[in-house]
Amino acid sequence: MTQTRSDELVFLPLGGAGEIGMNLNLYGYGPPGDETWVMVDLGVTFSDGAIPGVDVIMPDPGFIVERRDRLAGLVLTHAHEDHLGAVPYLWDRLRCPVYATPFAISILRRKLAETTFADQVEIIEVPLGGRVRLGPFDMELITLTHSIPEPNAIAIRTGLGTVLHTGDWKFDPAPVVGAVSDEAALRKLGNDGVLAMVCDSTNVFVPGESGSEADLEATLTKLIGECQHRVAVTCFATNVARLETIAKAARTNGRDVVLAGRSLRRIDDAARENGYLANVPAFLDEEDTGHIPADKVLIVCTGSQGEPRAALARIAAGEHGNVTLSDGDAVIFSSRIIPGNEAAIGRLHNALVARGIRVVSTEDDIVHVSGHPARGELVRMYQLVRPTIAVPVHGELRHMVEHAALARDCQVPHAVVVENGAIVRLAPGEPEIAANAPVGRLAADGNRLVRLDGELVRRRTRAMWHGAAMVTVVINDAGELAREPQISTTGLLEEGDDTVERAALDAARAAVEALPAKRRADDEELKEAVRLAVRRAFNDSVAKKPVTTVHLVRI
State how beta strands 161-165 and 196-200 pair. Answer: parallel
Q: Which segments within 52-160 are labelled E, that is strand?
A: 56-59, 71-75, 98-100, 123-125, 131-134, 137-143, 152-158
Sheet holding 152-158, edge to edge: 131-134, 137-143, 152-158, 161-165, 196-200, 389-393, 414-415
C-beta of residue 54 within 8 angstroms of C-beta of residue 444: yes
Sheet holding 547-554, edge to edge: 486-490, 468-475, 547-554
Helix (H, G, I), strand (E, B) or coil at 486: strand
Give the number of other Cβ atoms within 10 Å of residue 41's Cβ. Answer: 28
C-beta of residue 475 within 8 angstroms of C-beta of residue 520: yes
Nearest to 423 by CA among 6, 11, 96: 11
Nearest to 152 by CA among 161, 162, 139: 139
**Each residue of 58-97: pLDDT tens digit?**
999 999 999 999 999 999 999 999 999 999 999 999 999 9
Angstrom distance (rounded) from CA 540 to CA 504: 10
pLDDT in tens, the chain (555 residues): 555 568 999 999 999 999 998 999 999 999 999 999 999 999 999 876 667 777 899 999 999 999 999 999 999 999 999 999 999 999 999 999 999 999 999 999 999 999 999 999 999 999 999 999 999 999 999 999 999 999 999 999 999 999 999 999 999 999 999 999 999 999 999 999 999 999 999 999 999 999 999 999 999 999 999 999 999 999 999 999 999 999 999 999 999 999 999 999 999 999 999 999 999 999 999 999 999 999 999 999 999 999 888 999 999 999 999 999 999 999 999 998 887 789 999 999 999 999 999 999 999 999 999 999 999 999 999 999 999 999 999 999 999 999 999 999 999 999 999 999 999 999 999 999 999 999 999 998 888 888 888 888 888 888 888 899 999 999 998 888 999 999 999 988 888 888 999 999 999 999 999 999 888 899 999 999 999 999 999 999 999 999 999 999 998
Angstrom distance (rounded) from CA 396 to CA 181: 26
Angstrom distance (rounded) from CA 53 to CA 457: 9
Q: Give domain 214-360's CATH architecture.
A: 3-Layer(aba) Sandwich (3.40)
State how beta strands 330-333 and 358-360 pair. Answer: parallel
Which amino acid is residue 159, in one-letter code? G
Sort 114 into a burial class: Cβ within 10 Å, 0-12 / 13-18 / 19+: exposed
The reported pLDDT for the residue numbered 1 is 52
Give the number of other Cβ atoms within 10 Å of residue 25's Cβ. Answer: 28
State how beta strands 256-260 and 297-301 pair. Answer: parallel
| In the chain, where the domains are located | 8-208+370-447, 214-360, 455-554
How much helix, strand and coil, in percent to the nearest 5, is found in the chain? 35, 25, 40
| DSSP states of 528-550 | HHHHHHHHHHHHHHHS---EEEE
Rounded to 10 degrees, the C-alpha dihedral 160/161/167/172 comes to 180
Q: Give domain 455-554's CATH architecture.
A: Roll (3.10)
**Each residue of 8-51: pLDDT tens digit?**
999 999 999 999 989 999 999 999 999 999 999 999 998 766 67
Alpha helices by DSSP H, listed for 181-258, are 183-192, 216-226, 240-252
Angstrom distance (rounded) from CA 512 to CA 127: 72
Angstrom distance (rounded) from CA 297 to CA 288: 10
Nearest to 431 by CA among 408, 419, 415: 415
* Spatial CB neighbours of 221, under 8 Å, sequence gap ≥ 6: 248, 249, 252, 253
CA distance to 43, 73, 119, per residue, from 123 (Å): 17, 10, 10
In CATH, which superfamily holds the domain spanning 8-208+370-447? Answer: Ribonuclease Z/Hydroxyacylglutathione hydrolase-like (3.60.15.10)
The reported pLDDT for the residue numbered 31 is 96
Q: Same CATH fold, 214-360 and 8-208+370-447?
A: no
C-beta of residue 39 within 8 angstroms of C-beta of residue 96: yes
CA distance to 254, 270, 277, 506, per residue, from 282 (Å): 15, 13, 9, 69
Residue 59 — φ and ψ, nearest 5°?
-70, 150
Helix (H, G, I), strand (E, B) or coil at 195: coil
Q: Give how far the C-alpha of residue 113 lies from the chain's centroid of Cα atoms, to the nearest Å.
A: 20
Angstrom distance (rounded) from CA 9 to CA 31: 9
